[in-house]
Structure 1
Amino acid sequence: MSNKVMLGMSGGVDSSVAALLLLKAGYDVTGVTMRLRPDAYMQQCAAGGCCSLDDIDDARRVCYQLGIDHLVLNFTDRFEKDVIQYFADQYAAGRTPNPCIACNRHLKFDAMLQKARLLGFDSIATGHYAVIEQNAQGRWLLRKAPASKDQSYVLYSMTQDQLAHTLMPLGAYTKPEARKMAEEAGLQVAHKPDSQEICFVEDNDYAGFLERFTGEKAPAGDFVDQDGNVLGKHLGITYYTIGQRKGLGIAFGRPMYVTHIDAEHNRITLGEEGSQYADTLVAEDLNFIPFDVLGEPLRAQVKVRYQAKPAPALLSPMENGRVRVTFDEAQRSVTPGQAVVFYDGDLVLGGGTIVD
């Protein structure tokens, strides 16, 4: 059994309880807090937002209570490049990105694992709610956590190497159980609220953040209908996302939804009720877990958002390495830039990024 573990500790209850469980299982645990946000954003969301200065202090105190070492590793440059710049680029392209998935992919399961190896650790661990296991053929698999707080959707990009060297001790527990364990252990983070906002965006003001980060204000443009007729002016494409109904700034006397964002021509298409549904999508930048490549059409359950219910669909490989997903029933607000994740029951087949 690999014994020396680097545990990513955010200062929250989940990673703190992960430390408890790993210690009880006999692992040699070192808590590591990844300093991700550049200095310009470190003061934002300081009262409980992910990766804030307060969170670093909370993680340090938990490690002291548990009698384990605590390190703070600086990954701000890579975070700015792979998460913040990616976030800005995707919005500029008319897409709605998920920066937490980018952070997991590039920082928590790539940069942290690389650093762990350099420092002589056998594996890394996190407080995610998901299950990692190995099948009889030696293939590493990812499964949904049996509890309601399943986080497998944001983990679909994990590689075989990453899965083989990652521990997720919370996979069999519920959030209330985790809080109870933290309380019984006397950890002060037992009832700390979960972080809800994107850690580098203050007050969930995406458009304001993008304007400050890029130094440019998104130009106003046209709202158009499905036939291209101009309906009015929008504030800039960074203010909108697919499926949006509220906050359009125009009264139509009936519900209207954002159905398409055309960054090249700075146009946003609006449609009436029903137009916000799609029965097919195309995904790229794919990662599969039980197998390397999708070689033939495959039935699966598919999630187009973190909170969405899995919907039955057919996955069809395309010549350019993309996959077309055809749903049995049309899905609401299929959004370019978001992740689409494929399941077979509780088994994560993989996923990718929606492009169309």
Structure 2
Amino acid sequence: MSGGIDSSATCIMLQEQGYEVVGVTMRTWDVPSKFSTPGQTEPDDVLEARALAGKLGIEHHVADVREEFKEVIVKHFIDEYMKGRTPNPCVMCNPLFKERILCEWADQTNCAHISTGHYCRLEEHNGHLYIIAGDDMTKDQSYFLWKLPQEILRRFIFPLGTYTKQEVREYLRQKGFETKAQGGESMEICFIEGDYRDFLRSQCPDIDTKIGPGWFVDNKGLKIGQHKGFPYYTIGQRKGLEIALGRPAYVLRINAEKNTVMLGDAEELKTEYMLVEDYQITDMQELMQCKDLAVRIRYRSKPIPCRVAVLDEKHLLVRFYSEASAIAPGQSAVFYDGRRVLGGAFIASQRGIRKIAADNQDKL
């Protein structure tokens, strides 16, 4: 229970369906804006969730996991940027943290199932449970859940999968929670307010002396200007480069070892192939035989038709069949058959991708 619109509606729906509900609110990171009253000792989301639990007459617990969250999720977020990659903290948080802790609390409180306010649903196929994209494609969160294992999915209930956000708001109004229904959206990354660069500086005060300025280079490796340090840039970035080249420039590659950032034009961001690593596929045979296979390479991006070749136990080679651009190492590549999630992987370094593709043409 985050205290927000979606988890609140989920609690009410589950009660109406006859479930005995126990609420758990995770206190993960104390964002200053969540303390709206002077002297407040707990963030607003904890207070709102507790108040809702009281109105619904359900048992409520607060899991103070701030230290563990910092050591697992925030550390991974920082480490990825320090490697020149663009992290997906929500993808890591779901299997390594949020759902694991929910399962632990479910066991402690003798609950058979766990539930969240994610906009998606589940469907069984050939003995496996699959995540299905939510009906509201503007709120669909299936992209973030690809790493959830079968044993956790089999405990899950997703009540909001067939609702739009507007329908959820209207549902809360009908149940007498007008103020809750008018609530705002949650932050995309729950522990960051504003620019992630400021967050990096706050958590790594020596980042500007430890890494410091480096060179912008062109696609031939020639120096064309100075930048503030490679962690402050992401693949595909155009704004905020603070360099005048007389034409639009985009970040093509980041070299953390040399502290260089390669710039080029939009055309140079396009690619026909992508290398991914650490994949988790529900049924590899189904993935390989899927006639309508598509992959999303970032949250809210449209699925791109593709084919996949297995290179080894860690890597897959993806061939795109329509335009793909700005492949960012560290982001998730999530594979779909229509609205059904077949699995996912992390986008690997694309260094040498042309040779890798040429060497594996027979597999694609």
Please, what TM-score do these two structures have when normalized by structure 1? 0.90
Equivalent position to 1:332, from 303, 325, 348: 325
Task: Indicate whether 1:78 and 2:68 are aligned.
Answer: yes
* Closer/same/farther in 2, CA of residues 200 and 209 from structure 1, 3 Å limit: same
Aligned to 1:214: 204
Aligned to 1:24: 16
User: 1:77 offset after TM fit, Å?
Assistant: 2.4
Aligned to 1:276: 269
RMSD, matched Cα? 1.8
SS at match of 2:180: coil
User: 1:45 offset after TM fit, Å?
Assistant: 5.1
User: 1:153 offset after TM fit, Å?
Assistant: 0.6
User: 1:139 offset after TM fit, Å?
Assistant: 1.9
Task: Indicate whether 1:156 and 2:146 are aligned.
Answer: yes
Equivalent position to 1:190, from 165, 169, 181: 181
Which structure has more relative contact order (CA 8 Å, sep 6+)? It is 1
Asked if 2 retains the 8 angstrom alpha-carbon contact of 1:312 and 1:328, the reply is yes
Asked if 1 retains the 8 angstrom alpha-carbon contact of 2:28 and 2:64, the reply is yes
Task: Indicate whether 1:342 and 2:332 are aligned.
Answer: no
Asked if 1 retains the 8 angstrom alpha-carbon contact of 2:213 and 2:226, the reply is yes
Task: Indicate whether 1:36 and 2:28 are aligned.
Answer: yes
Equivalent position to 1:99, from 89, 113, 127: 89
Aligned to 2:101: 111
Aligned to 1:314: 307
Quick check: 84-93 or 101-110, which moved more? 101-110
Equivalent position to 1:143, from 132, 138, 143: 132
Distance 2:269 2:34 in 1: 33
Work out the number of aligned pairs and report it. Answer: 338
Distance 1:296 1:273 in 2: 31
User: 1:293 offset after TM fit, Å?
Assistant: 7.3
One-letter code of the match for 1:211? Answer: R
Asked if 2 retains the 8 angstrom alpha-carbon contact of 1:44 and 1:201, the reply is no
Distance 1:139 1:354 in 2: 25
Distance 1:156 1:13 in 2: 24
Aligned to 1:250: 243
Asked if 2 retains the 8 angstrom alpha-carbon contact of 1:44 and 1:200, the reply is no
User: 1:85 offset after TM fit, Å?
Assistant: 0.1
SS at match of 1:18: helix
Aligned to 1:4: none
What percentage of aligned pairs have identical amino acids? 38
Give structure 1 stretches of 5+ with no counterpart.
1-8
Q: 1:90-121, CA deviations, whole angstroms, 9 ceiling, x for partnerless residues? A: 00000010112222121222222123223321
Asked if 1 retains the 8 angstrom alpha-carbon contact of 2:173 and 2:181, the reply is yes
Q: 1:125-152, CA deviations, whole angstroms, 9 ceiling, x for partnerless residues? A: 00001011223x4321211112222111
Asked if 1 retains the 8 angstrom alpha-carbon contact of 2:120 and 2:132, the reply is yes
Spell out structure 1 runs of 4+ moving beyond 3 A: 44-47, 292-299
User: 1:123 offset after TM fit, Å?
Assistant: 1.3
Asked if 2 retains the 8 angstrom alpha-carbon contact of 1:183 and 1:190, the reply is yes
One-letter code of the match for 1:64? Answer: G
Quick check: 214-223 or 178-187, which moved more? 214-223
SS at match of 1:274: helix
SS at match of 2:268: coil
More helix per residue: 1 or 2? Answer: 2
One-letter code of the match for 2:14? Answer: L
One-letter code of the match for 2:192? Answer: V
One-letter code of the match for 2:130? Answer: L
Distance 1:272 1:140 in 2: 42
* Closer/same/farther in 2, CA of residues 197 and 174 from structure 1, 3 Å limit: closer
Q: Superposition pairs for residues 125-136 of structure 1, below 5 Å?
A: 125-135=115-125
One-letter code of the match for 2:297? Answer: V
Asked if 2 retains the 8 angstrom alpha-carbon contact of 1:298 and 1:316, the reply is no
Distance 2:305 2:298 in 1: 14
Q: 1:34-85, CA deviations, whole angstroms, 9 ceiling, x for partnerless residues? A: 1111xxx4425546xxxx8111111111111212121111222221122100
Asked if 2 retains the 8 angstrom alpha-carbon contact of 1:242 and 1:334, the reply is yes
Q: 1:15-50, CA deviations, whole angstroms, 9 ceiling, x for partnerless residues? A: 10001110011000011101111xxx4425546xxx
